Chain A
């Protein structure tokens, strides 16, 4: 069994933004359910002992979690590289300096678009201008700046402007993530799904900018999997390299694993992380190839894509052991094609609540 390299620490689901593609589950954790800082410190120490070298402090909005600086200090003391994954609301120059002093290694700020009018409409809050100011504060504090933009029907045509904005903000990396349809994004699929023409054009725009920019601004382009013919090699396999701990302390192989109804996820209040990684039923459920049905079981691609995403299989077919419906060989590919053929409703989405306060 391999070791985990990365830990996604979802400190809170509270967030000032209401993005309709939020990666948090539909059932958001309330503030009173959140793990206290002392529990998180123990989790971080256990993670480091298990082999984790990267920790992403995420949410919700992690800046709202009291004790964030303490956890960054703990991560640093344990030898882990820490990344703050933030909306940047509340990231003042003073806060950026405190985070840096605590030992933070890098910051990743989400942007919703390249212009305030569009970005604020997607976020469901007036935040775009504050994000640009926060990006400058991050750079002024001497922290490396990454940006992350979720691309969907309403923003994918703005890629050129988004990439130029990232360049002007002095980012060293820009993640351009086509929306993945879990949780809130799944509920808003018709409003968010881009067309084939949009994704083809986007790929060309990204390629042209990547060529021009070279390594000075790394563009990380996450493919729109509904439009692909083969599934994504989700997390390089179940329980293989990374784990997520949510605000309640549940440990998941992936952020979206709540989509799998019949799995019970272990909690850090009941077990240590080493047991959870090595022994728990949830983490062992889809390791290796034994669980696979056909056509995956005898497919040479299984070594590369691991049968695709278990959460997507569960969400779309109700059965997490089935081949990811995105695959052209999947018996359920018709489910994806039906969604692609269905009428789109761009912009007609339901916001997530600014929850859990």
Chain B
């Protein structure tokens, strides 16, 4: 995961609050992915403008968690989404 990239969901992916469960969810042509609150908070910051370092800094300002933990969460989430083709490929 290059730390210079500015991650963003692919254009065919929609993030929304699920009407039935009230929980965050990603929708894409293949189906739906239920998101944890922390994954949702990370994705809210993935706007194609912020770099990974800025995302981690913003999370650190908002949540009371060690930076190493936040970094690991961000990197594993982005790797998982990229592996499923759910992130915009070039940024």
Name the B residues within 8 Å of A216 (CB-CB). Answer: 85, 89
Bound: A6/B27 CA distance, A: 11
Interface string of B25-36 (1 = CB under 8 A from A): 101111110000
Is A261 an interface position by the 8 A CB rule? no
- B-contacting 9-mer, from A27-35, A45-53, A196-204, A288-296: A45-53
Q: In the complex, given contacts A3-B20, A79-B16, A215-B84, what are 4 additional A-B residue pairs having Cβ atoms less than 8 angstroms apart?
A: A81-B27, A81-B28, A108-B29, A215-B82
Bound: A309/B28 CA distance, A: 26
* A-B contacts, 7 listed (Cβ < 8 Å): A3-B20, A6-B31, A51-B19, A144-B12, A144-B29, A216-B89, A218-B85
Q: Assess whether A105 is in contact with B29, with CB atoms less than 8 Å apart.
A: yes
Bound: A50/B19 CA distance, A: 9
Name the A residues within 8 Å of B37 (CB-CB). Answer: none
Is A146 an interface position by the 8 A CB rule? yes
Name the A residues within 8 Å of B25 (CB-CB). Answer: 53
Bound: A59/B34 CA distance, A: 29
Q: Which 6 A-B pairs have the closest CB atoms?
A: A144-B12, A215-B85, A81-B27, A51-B20, A106-B29, A53-B32
Name the B residues within 8 Å of A79 (CB-CB). Answer: 16, 19
Count how many chain A residues have C-beta atoms less than 8 Å from C-beta atoms of the other chain. 24
Q: Assess whether B11 is in contact with A5, with CB atoms less than 8 Å apart.
A: no
Name the A residues within 8 Å of B29 (CB-CB). Answer: 81, 83, 105-106, 108, 144, 146, 172-173
B13 to chain A, nearest CB (A): 9
Query: Which A207-229 residues sit within 8 Å CB-CB of chain B?
Result: 215-216, 218, 220
Assuming the A-B contacts A51-B20, A144-B29, are A105 and B14 also in contact, with contact meaning beta carbons closer than 8 angstroms in the complex? yes
A163 to chain B, nearest CB (A): 16
Query: Which A104-144 residues sit within 8 Å CB-CB of chain B?
Result: 105-106, 108, 142, 144
Q: Assess whether A173 is in contact with B30, with CB atoms less than 8 Å apart.
A: yes
Query: Which A1-15 residues sit within 8 Å CB-CB of chain B?
Result: 3, 5-6
Assuming the A-B contacts A215-B84, A216-B89, are A54 and B32 also in contact, with contact meaning beta carbons closer than 8 angstroms in the complex? yes
Is B2 an interface position by the 8 A CB rule? no
Name the B residues within 8 Å of A146 (CB-CB). Answer: 29
Bound: A215/B13 CA distance, A: 14
Q: Assess whether A215 is in contact with B20, with CB atoms less than 8 Å apart.
A: no
Query: Which A50-86 residues sit within 8 Å CB-CB of chain B?
Result: 50-51, 53-54, 79, 81, 83
Query: Which B34-91 residues sit within 8 Å CB-CB of chain A?
Result: 82-85, 89
Residue of A nearest to B32 (CB): A53
Name the A residues within 8 Å of B28 (CB-CB). Answer: 81
Bound: A105/B12 CA distance, A: 7
Q: Assess whether B83 is in contact with A215, with CB atoms less than 8 Å apart.
A: yes
Name the A residues within 8 Å of B30 (CB-CB). Answer: 173, 218, 220
Q: Assess whether A172 is in contact with B16, with CB atoms less than 8 Å apart.
A: no
Name the A residues within 8 Å of B32 (CB-CB). Answer: 5, 53-54, 81
Bound: A68/B82 CA distance, A: 33
B77 to chain A, nearest CB (A): 15
Bound: A53/B19 CA distance, A: 9
Q: Assess whether B19 is in contact with A5, with CB atoms less than 8 Å apart.
A: no
Q: Assess whether B19 is in contact with A49, with CB atoms less than 8 Å apart.
A: yes
Bound: A3/B16 CA distance, A: 18
Bound: A54/B31 CA distance, A: 7
Q: Assess whether A81 is in contact with B14, with CB atoms less than 8 Å apart.
A: yes
Bound: A51/B20 CA distance, A: 6
Residue of A nearest to B12 (CB): A144
Q: Assess whether B11 is in contact with A144, with CB atoms less than 8 Å apart.
A: yes
Interface string of A152-179 (1 = CB under 8 A from B): 0000000000000000000011000000
Query: Which A302-331 residues sit within 8 Å CB-CB of chain B?
Result: none
Residue of A nearest to B82 (CB): A215
Bound: A215/B25 CA distance, A: 21
Please tell me which one of the listed residues A51, A54, A142 contacts residue B27 in the complex, with CB atoms under 8 A apart.
Answer: A54
Bound: A79/B27 CA distance, A: 10
Bound: A173/B84 CA distance, A: 11
Bound: A51/B25 CA distance, A: 12
B20 to chain A, nearest CB (A): 4
